[in-house]
Amino acid sequence: QVQLVESGGGLVQPGGSLRLSCAASGSIFSIYAMGWYRRAPGKQRELVARITNGRSTNYADSVKGRFTISRDNAKNTMYLQMNSLKPEDTAVYYCNADLTTDWGSRSNYWGQGTQVTVSS
């Protein structure tokens, strides 16, 4: 079994910062890429940021310069440092991992999501 568990969401004022974490655990052989997605009320889920096992990154235009994605391969953990938060960043943030399990199955896995609310 594979589990992705997000943490670090919450309520923050505009201009504030939050750091999200995503820990992957279970029968993991190798993680190729991890990413953060978000779904705001009434909108479709969108990619926020993605990082490969080679630490190549890409970001949504709306978060470039404000968010930073990173990962600790030894701990199978990914982070999202979010600075200069705006009300439009309010959403449920989901962790995603493209990985291969110990029994050789490659698939995408999702976390349960963590709420980020930016409001004064």
CA 14 to the chain's CA centroid: 20
The CA distance from 21 to 4, in Å, is 10
- Model confidence pLDDT, tens digit, residues 16-68: 999 999 999 999 999 999 999 999 999 999 999 999 988 899 999 999 999 99
**Mean per-residue pLDDT over the chain, rounded:** 96
The CA distance from 1 to 27, in Å, is 6
pLDDT at 15 exceeding the cut of 90: yes
The CA distance from 69 to 56, in Å, is 10
